[in-house]
Amino acid sequence: MSGADEFGEIARLFRPLTRGDAGAFDLLDDAAVIPQRAGHDLVVTKDAIVEGVHFPVGEKPDLIGRKLLRVNLSDLAAKAAEPFACFLAVAWPAGFEVRDRERFALGLHADLETFGLALLGGDTVSTPGPFTASLTALGWVPQGRMIRRSGARPGDLVMVSGNIGDGVLGLDAVQGRIVDRGGQLAFRYRFPEPRLDLRDLLRKSATASADVSDGLIADVRHIALASGVQIHLDLDQLPLSRGAATWLEQQPDIAAALVRLASGGDDYEVVCTLPRGVRRPPGFTIVGEVTEGEGLEVRAAGRPVDPGQGGWTHV
Amino acid sequence: MSGADEFGEIARLFRPLTRGDAGAFDLLDDAAVIPQRAGHDLVVTKDAIVEGVHFPVGEKPDLIGRKLLRVNLSDLAAKAAEPFACFLAVAWPAGFEVRDRERFALGLHADLETFGLALLGGDTVSTPGPFTASLTALGWVPQGRMIRRSGARPGDLVMVSGNIGDGVLGLDAVQGRIVDRGGQLAFRYRFPEPRLDLRDLLRKSATASADVSDGLIADVRHIALASGVQIHLDLDQLPLSRGAATWLEQQPDIAAALVRLASGGDDYEVVCTLPRGVRRPPGFTIVGEVTEGEGLEVRAAGRPVDPGQGGWTHV
């Protein structure tokens, strides 16, 4: 679906991103080919981003490309999949000049190298609206071994990797609403780190898993729903960065502040359930437990709280 | 990347579109699973559409969903692939109400049934801009048997299925620039028919193949470029519908008019090359031949013409 000029630009901007993968046909074909990998299933995810909704207006083009890849890799990380390829659809807005498009492609290229993926195809179009793009990311898992959201069982413990809440505070920092010494919080928001390092651990021990993109409360609720169990979440156990802990101390209503940290999303950590007998893996924090029943019970500041929808806040 | 409300709407609108495929996990997971199919390669394509660029502002939502699927299936048809699944990313604009979203989903659902595909996942987001969506479509081909653009050989004949030019005239008709008795041309533009019926024929005989989405001239140029050959295209042989033939008769410059019909795109027919000894398949028209060399030579009204870029015209 490319015009003639577009065809030349696709070649110049994006062919290097195929990284020599034969199945990309140098982006000269209508489609890409992915050969089978014996003993493996293909895992596929697809997330979209819109300027002014998922990243601030005026964001640097290379960071847009990198964040687009990273949010998709975060989904594959939670599934314990090994990413290898992606497809890109991007709608360039009127003001997005050649140099911006080049920078977007360079940013994406840098992270494809970092994470070992090849761009196999996609589409570039024009839009009278804001910058919009979607990425389809593909990974491998050993056959039948994808970690689902639906495997949590009564008795399991709920654990989360890294820190929670830096995503939503990072957005506050980017928008100048809070002080962010050293820019750590804004960096976390702009530049998520997909937890691909957790693959072996998740495959070995996790009964269910999701990435924390919508907010811990929402993502844990999804696990409860998909698994047909009840989950009890204790926000007093939330692992916090120094920046988030400092912010929390200054809040008048600690329970409300904890709910906010667990509702904001954009953390791109992994929340998972593990059987109670399994030793807590390094870097994980126990934040709850699974029982029979349904839905989510949340405690904060030592008492039950109503987390509302616990949804995800856009920019 | 869905908020809490969005999660419920995804379930209501899109779960029926999974058509019971186990790998979709009822759209409750971060990702989908696609098991291997022995002896087959996976073929993947991804095209995007933007309101006001790829379809007229105010188009009926069900037709948007159907066209999005059909333009992607057209790519798979040209590759002789058997489609089975897709992923959707859609950005809803502000004015796109619940009823519009339902109609979009219903239109897409109808065509998933028609063509036997399951929706396995994706993302829904909001946009301050126009309706924007991308579809990633997956199909199977016997291992190593995808028909590429790069297989054309000197001596081959160039053939095209169906009629050429109804796409660009259909856009003229939709925009009220030409008379369209019975609405046939507008229908062809709005409602492309992916040529999945050509699969066996292409697998048996074609050396190279592409769908006619950018315009016959551009798509044939892509085949010449990918194959490292020269292609000679004779537009006097263009297969035309009655509506296109009537339009052509009224044009003062027949050569220019033929170039327009072969440049407009949105035909969603298949152009392919076949060895000269192969019998011309029913429904195909010989429009050119392949020689050694490079690039494209175009004749119309009995003389060489400069087709320019032969590119694709947006709405």
| B111 marked ligand binding residue | no
Q: Measured between alpha carbons, how far is A287 from A31 in angstroms, rounded to an integer? A: 44
> Looking at the structure, do residues A182 and A238 belong to the same domain, yes or no?
yes
N-term to C-term CA, chain A: 31
Q: Which residues of A56-65 are buried (b: 16+ CB within 10 A; e: fewer)?
A: beebebbbbb
Q: What is the pLDDT of residues A114-161, one digit of tens each?
A: 999 999 999 999 999 999 999 999 999 999 999 999 999 999 999 999
> Looking at the structure, do residues B38 and B75 belong to the same domain, yes or no?
yes
* Nearest-neighbour CA in chain A from B198: distance (Å): 16
The pLDDT of residue B152: 98
Answer yes or no: is B151 within a domain. Answer: no
Residues in chain B closer than 8 A to A1 (CB atoms): 47-48, 54, 71, 213-214, 312
> Looking at the structure, do residues A178 and A43 belong to the same domain, yes or no?
no
Crossing angle of helices B98-115 and B4-14, in 10° steps, is 40
> Looking at the structure, do residues B136 and B219 belong to the same domain, yes or no?
no
Answer yes or no: is A14 within a domain. Answer: yes
| Measured CA angle at A50 (ends A49, A53), to 5 deg | 105
Most A CBs within 10 A among B5, B46, B76, hence the mutation to make, goes to B46
**B168 and chain A: CB distance < 8 Å anywhere?**
no
Q: CA nearest B189: which of B163, B171, B162?
A: B171
Residues in chain B closer than 8 A to A228 (CB atoms): none
- What is the arrangement of strands in the sheet containing B295-300, beginning at the earlier edge strand? B208-211, B270-274, B157-161, B284-291, B230-234, B295-300, B303-305
Answer yes or no: is B313 within a domain. Answer: no
The pLDDT of residue B265: 87
**CA gyration radius, chain B:** 20
Residues 172-231 of B with CB under 8 A from A: 210-211, 213-214, 218, 221-222, 225-226
In angstroms, the Cα distances linking A173 to A176, A215, A264, A299, B194 are 5, 17, 13, 27, 49
| A111 marked ligand binding residue | no
Residues 280-299 of A with CB under 8 A from B: none
Answer yes or no: is B148 within a domain. Answer: no
Q: Measured between alpha carbons, how far is B72 from B56 in angstroms, rounded to an integer? A: 18
> Looking at the structure, do residues A297 and A169 belong to the same domain, yes or no?
yes
Residues in chain A closer than 8 A to B311 (CB atoms): 3-5
Per-residue tokens: B248: 């052509």
Q: What is the pLDDT of residues B164-177, one digit of tens each?
A: 999 999 999 998 99
Answer yes or no: is A74 within a domain. Answer: yes
* Nearest-neighbour CA in chain B from A219: distance (Å): 9
| A197 marked ligand binding residue | no
> Looking at the structure, do residues B186 and B228 belong to the same domain, yes or no?
yes
How many C-alpha atoms does B145 have within 13 Å on its Cβ side? 17
Answer yes or no: is A148 within a domain. Answer: no
Q: Which residue of A lies nearest to B145 if distances are taken between CA atoms? A: A33
- Domain boundary among the residues A117, A142, A167 is at A142
Answer yes or no: is B311 within a domain. Answer: no
DSSP state of B182: G
Q: What is the pLDDT of residues B1-49, one digit of tens each?
A: 344 566 778 889 999 999 999 999 999 998 999 999 999 999 999 999 9
| B47 marked ligand binding residue | yes
How many C-alpha atoms does A209 have within 13 Å on its Cβ side? 30
The pLDDT mean for chain B works out to: 93
pLDDT at residue B105 above 90? Answer: yes
> Looking at the structure, do residues A136 and A161 belong to the same domain, yes or no?
no
In angstroms, the Cα distances linking A26 to A138, B44, B153, B161, B315 are 18, 14, 19, 26, 28
pLDDT at residue B274 above 90? Answer: yes
The domain that holds A278 is classified in CATH as 3.90.650.10
The pLDDT of residue A8: 79
| B197 marked ligand binding residue | no
Tell me whether residues B87 and A46 touch, CB distance under 8 A.
yes
* Nearest-neighbour CA in chain A from B240: distance (Å): 22
> Looking at the structure, do residues B80 and B196 belong to the same domain, yes or no?
no
Q: What is the pLDDT of residues B191-214, one digit of tens each?
A: 999 999 999 999 999 999 999 999
The domain that holds A108 is classified in CATH as 3.30.1330.10
User: Which residue segment(s) compose the domain that B172 sits in?
Assistant: 157-305
> Looking at the structure, do residues B163 and B129 belong to the same domain, yes or no?
no
Tell me whether residues A1 and B50 touch, CB distance under 8 A.
no
Q: Measured between alpha carbons, how far is B282 from B313 in angstroms, rounded to an integer? A: 30
* Nearest-neighbour CA in chain B from A277: distance (Å): 26
* Nearest-neighbour CA in chain B from A27: distance (Å): 10
The pLDDT of residue A307: 84
Q: Measured between alpha carbons, how far is A52 from A58 in angstroms, rounded to an integer? A: 9
Q: Where does the pLDDT of residue B307 fall: very low under 50, low under 70, confident under 90, or very high at 90 and above? A: confident
> Looking at the structure, do residues B294 and B161 belong to the same domain, yes or no?
yes
Residues 17-36 of B with CB under 8 A from A: 25-26, 28-36
- The 3-class SS string of chain A reads CCCHHHHHHHHHHHHHHHCCCHHHHHHCCCCEEECCCCCEEEEEEEEEEEECCCECCCCCHHHHHHHHHHHHHHHHHHCCCEEEEEEEEEEEECCCCHHHHHHHHHHHHHHHHHHCCEEEEEEEEEECCCCEEEEEEEEEEECCCCCCCCCCCCCCEEEEECCCCHHHHHHHHHCCCCCCHHHHHHHHHHCCCCCHHHHHHHHHHCCEEEECCCCHHHHHHHHHHHHCCEEEEEHHHCCCCHHHHHHHHCCCCHHHHHHHHCCCCCCCCEEEEECCCCCCCCCEEEEEEEECCCEEEEEECCEEECCCCCCCCCC
How many domains are contained in chain B? 2
ipTM of the complex: 0.94
- Domain boundary among the residues A142, A176, A193 is at A142
Select from A31, A126, A128 the Cβ nearest to the Cβ of B44: A31
Answer yes or no: is B16 within a domain. Answer: yes
Taking a C-beta distance cutoff of 8 angstroms, is the pair B255, B305 a contact? Answer: yes
Helix, strand or coil for residue B42? strand
Low-confidence ranges of chain A (pLDDT < 50): 1-3, 312-315
Q: CA nearest A69: which of A117, A27, A36, A28?
A: A117
In angstroms, the Cα distances linking A286 to A61, A148, A160, A161, B95 are 37, 19, 7, 9, 43
> Looking at the structure, do residues B133 and B166 belong to the same domain, yes or no?
no
> Looking at the structure, do residues B218 and B286 belong to the same domain, yes or no?
yes
